Structures are given as structure tokens and as C-alpha cells.
């Protein structure tokens, strides 16, 4: 009985997170829609992103790179020691990743048979950062 309650609680928490992400995403897209196209292009350039990447990041919501921060911490990589362009690319790839649920699960539970880094679009870059001692 307790296991059913735990599963139900986990399921409800996942729904709440997804619902919250949806509204954050809508807010991000609404903000982008209110900006002049020229200004939006300048924001994309200043961020080192293409216009399509900027829109994709906005669609994913404000916390779309939160898992990257957790992964960096887990690997012992100091964010402030990463080149700004490399960090933006890590963030862009992470925000577009479709494996967020699996990544979050593995970061929280740290199972022995974790599939990470196989599904991670930042696998190669994080391996280099780990090897070059960005910690």
C-alpha cells in the first residue's frame, strides 16, 4: 500500500512540474513575441545563439538548463571556469534535450545502471571539461 502511495505522489509531482514548465514556457514565448524583430535578433547575437536556437530555448522555459547545473555540480566542474561560448553551447544543447526526465531521475536516484552519459547531447564536451580539470 505504501508503495502505491509513493508512486501516486511521484506521479502527481511530475504532473505539477510539467504543468509549471508549460506556463513558464508560455510566458517566455509571450515575452519574445512582444519584442521587436531587430531587438530579438540582437539578443540572439549577444547570446551567441541563432534566432531559431533562441526561440527553442524560450520554448523550453526558464529552468531548461537546471539539469545542466546539477550535472556540472555532480561532475565537480566549476561553472565559472568554463569558457562563456562553451557554456552557452552546453546550455543550448541541454535546453533542447528530449531526455530531461531520464536525466532528472538519474541525478536524483543515482542508480548503479545509469544510462548517462549515453543519451546526453553534451557528453563529449562534459568529458573534455572533466579531463581538463575544470574543477
pLDDT at 134: 66
User: What gap in Å lies between CA 87 and CA 1, rounded to an integer?
Assistant: 45
43 near 83, Cβ under 8 Å?
no
The answer to whether 125 touches 89, Cβ cutoff 8 Å, is yes
Specify the pLDDT at position 12.
Answer: 53
Q: Is the dihedral of CA 117, 110, 24, 89 positive or negative?
A: negative
Residue 31 has pLDDT above 50, yes or no: yes
- Band the pLDDT of 15: cuts 50, 70, 90: low
Structure letter (DSSP) for residue 58: H
Amino acid at each position: 500500500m505504501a508503495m502505491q502511495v509513493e508512486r501516486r505522489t511521484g506521479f502527481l509531482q511530475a504532473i505539477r512540474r510539467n504543468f509549471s514548465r508549460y506556463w513558464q514556457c508560455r510566458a517566455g514565448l509571450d515575452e519574445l513575441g512582444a519584442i521587436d524583430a531587430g531587438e530579438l535578433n540582437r539578443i540572439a547575437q549577444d547570446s551567441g545563439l541563432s534566432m531559431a536556437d533562441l526561440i527553442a530555448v524560450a520554448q523550453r522555459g526558464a529552468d531548461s538548463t537546471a539539469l545542466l547545473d546539477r550535472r556540472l555540480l555532480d561532475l565537480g566542474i566549476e561553472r565559472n571556469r568554463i569558457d562563456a561560448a562553451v557554456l552557452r553551447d552546453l546550455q543550448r544543447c541541454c535546453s533542447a534535450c528530449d531526455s530531461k526526465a531520464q536525466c532528472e531521475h538519474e541525478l536524483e536516484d543515482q542508480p548503479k545502471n545509469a544510462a548517462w552519459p549515453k543519451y546526453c547531447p553534451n557528453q563529449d564536451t562534459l568529458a573534455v571539461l572533466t579531463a581538463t580539470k575544470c574543477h
